[in-house]
């Protein structure tokens, strides 16, 4: 392997389907995150023109059944897939990709740290951290990675049972909460949840920024408690195998497998996710209190989320092989090509619309209306991303990310040739 560094992916080397799938994942993640942006709380029994108690309850159930966990799973799959493609491309050219991939992950950490100040629900920082764990694991065989990934995905069931049996194992999550409370007190003088909610409703943008510093600790308390590390890392490994094996490039050989993944994913995933939605709708507090119904919820999640997510992916793959399917689904590609720019834009929009420092709609919009809002925003992003990419090679965040990764300013604007 030579010391020559890996060069940027050229337009003709991009896999359009990955951009399509990434665009689809961004839509689902945004709708899922709107539950957090909106501060919707069914138990508050608030009333208003954009709160529809009966329909909102049903819509929230559908979110749990068809969205919860599925789209970050797809995004995780794509992350591992993308890393594998970088190493595979480097191997074909006889260069060492490792320094380039490390710089890519380091810039992701920086990007995620900045984003955490905007939206504590950030996933970029978390993905970058786990990306460093993926690097040494990539050396194992495809079979080993698939088995390990599957074990990781099912491991939260065992971890939850262990925390039920020995609650002291949840101490790291509790420590994160205690630290977050201390940071809130030090930066903003917040002493209670009531003080915090009052700040979110009436505080300035500077207050929001300060509260997001403590939000990091509350976020990672949540990620530890729900065992998000093995869930995401497991999908990284499956995605890495997908990319390294050139599964998609040889899709004609795997159509039967894709039909099997679709069928099995729906047969297993739909009933399991129905029960997941049932427990999340009616007994979610039991989950956070380490009760038996919380264990049932964890089992339903482990059995149902990834199979249904993989069914979504397989159906997209099969549809993209048809002329009509490719034409229709390709409209998502520009959003996927600018995935991180669009993802960060979601946070800016969500904060502006819902926080008190902005339009102040927090708690006033239920799942029906914020789902419609999410779809409208996504359609606008399709239009704007398509227009943007006619004049620029990358989204603004992607351009910075790529320039930092390759230690060279990348061409931002496209060269437009005028016919005379």
Residue 323: pLDDT above 70? Answer: yes
Q: Mean pLDDT throughout 23-36?
A: 97
Mean pLDDT over each residue of the chain, to the nearest integer: 93
Looking at residue 193, its pLDDT comes to: 86
Q: How many residues does the chain have?
A: 420
Residue 3: pLDDT above 70? Answer: no
Task: Convert the pLDDT of each residue in 148-168 to its tens digit.
Answer: 999 999 999 999 999 999 999
Name the least confident of 132-136, 285-289, 337-341, 411-415.
Answer: 411-415
What's the rounded Cα separation, in Å, for the pair 69 and 110? 25
Looking at residue 15, its pLDDT comes to: 86
Residue whose pair of structure tokens reads 């890393």 in the numeric block: 83
Say which residues have a Cβ less than 8 Å from residue 263's Cβ, sequence separation at least 6.
none
Query: Beta-strand (E) ranges in 214-309?
Result: none
Of the candidates 151, 156, 126, 127, the one whose C-alpha atom is nearest the C-alpha of residue 140 is: 151
166, HSE (Cβ side, Cα atoms, 13 Å): 6
CA distances from residue 390 to 208, 403, 414, 420 in whole angstroms, order as listed:
36, 20, 8, 20
Backbone φ and ψ of 58, nearest 5°:
-70, -40
> What DSSP character marks residue 367?
H
Q: Mean pLDDT throughout 30-39?
A: 96
Residue 360, phi-psi category: left (phi > 0), alpha (psi -120 to 50), beta (remainder): left
Looking at residue 191, its pLDDT comes to: 84
Looking at residue 192, its pLDDT comes to: 86
What's the rounded Cα separation, in Å, for the pair 168 and 61? 32
Residue 363, phi-psi category: left (phi > 0), alpha (psi -120 to 50), beta (remainder): left
Residue 43: pLDDT above 80? Answer: no
Of the candidates 154, 163, 171, the one whose C-alpha atom is nearest the C-alpha of residue 292 is: 163
Q: Mean pLDDT throughout 75-94?
A: 94
Looking at residue 416, its pLDDT comes to: 61
Looking at residue 44, its pLDDT comes to: 67
Task: Convert the pLDDT of each residue in 178-193 to its tens digit.
Answer: 999 999 999 999 888 8
Interhelix angle for 396-405 vs 339-354, to 10°? Answer: 130
Local confidence band at 262 (pLDDT 50, 70, 90 cut-offs) = very high
Task: Convert the pLDDT of each residue in 326-363 to its tens digit.
Answer: 999 999 999 999 999 999 999 999 999 999 999 999 99
């Amino acid at each position: 392997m030579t010391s020559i560094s890996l060069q940027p992916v050229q337009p003709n080397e991009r896999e359009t389907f990955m951009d399509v799938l990434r665009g689809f994942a961004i839509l689902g993640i945004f709708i899922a995150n709107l539950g957090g942006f909106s501060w919707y709380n069914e138990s508050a029994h608030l009333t208003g023109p954009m709160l529809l108690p009966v329909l909102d309850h049903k819509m929230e159930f559908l979110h749990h059944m068809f969205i919860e966990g599925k789209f970050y799973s797809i995004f995780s799959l794509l992350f591992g897939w993308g890393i594998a493609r970088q190493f595979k491309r480097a191997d074909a050219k006889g260069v060492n990709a490792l320094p380039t991939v490390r710089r890519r992950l380091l810039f992701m950490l920086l990007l995620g740290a900045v984003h955490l100040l905007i939206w504590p629900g950030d996933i970029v920082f978390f993905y970058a951290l786990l990306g460093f764990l993926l690097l040494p694991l990539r050396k194992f065989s495809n079979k080993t990675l698939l088995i390990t990934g599957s074990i990781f995905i099912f491991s939260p069931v065992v971890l939850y049972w262990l925390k039920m049996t020995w609650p002291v194992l949840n101490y790291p999550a509790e420590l994160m909460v205690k630290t977050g409370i201390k940071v809130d007190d030090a930066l903003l003088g917040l002493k209670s949840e009531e003080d915090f909610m009052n700040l979110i409703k009436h505080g300035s943008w500077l207050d929001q920024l300060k509260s997001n510093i403590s939000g990091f600790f509350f976020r990672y308390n949540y990620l530890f408690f729900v065992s998000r590390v093995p869930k995401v890392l497991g999908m990284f490994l499956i995605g890495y195998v997908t990319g390294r094996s050139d599964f998609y490039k040889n899709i004609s050989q795997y159509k039967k497998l894709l039909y099997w993944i679709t069928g099995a994913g729906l047969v297993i995933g739909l009933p399991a996710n129905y029960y997941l939605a049932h427990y999340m709708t009616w007994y979610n507090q039991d989950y956070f209190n380490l009760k038996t119904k919380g264990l049932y919820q964890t089992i339903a999640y482990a059995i149902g989320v990834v199979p249904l997510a993989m069914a979504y992916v397989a159906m997209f793959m099969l549809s993209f092989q048809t002329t009509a399917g490719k034409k229709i689904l390709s409209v998502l590609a520009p959003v996927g090509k600018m995935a991180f720019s669009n993802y960060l834009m979601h946070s800016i929009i969500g904060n502006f619309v819902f926080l008190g420092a902005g339009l102040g709609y927090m708690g006033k919009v239920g799942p029906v209306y914020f789902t419609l809002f999410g779809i409208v925003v996504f359609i606008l992003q399709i239009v704007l991303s398509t227009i943007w990419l006619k004049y620029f090679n990358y989204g603004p965040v992607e351009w910075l990310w790529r320039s930092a990764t390759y230690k060279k300013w990348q061409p931002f604007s496209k060269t437009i040739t005028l016919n005379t």
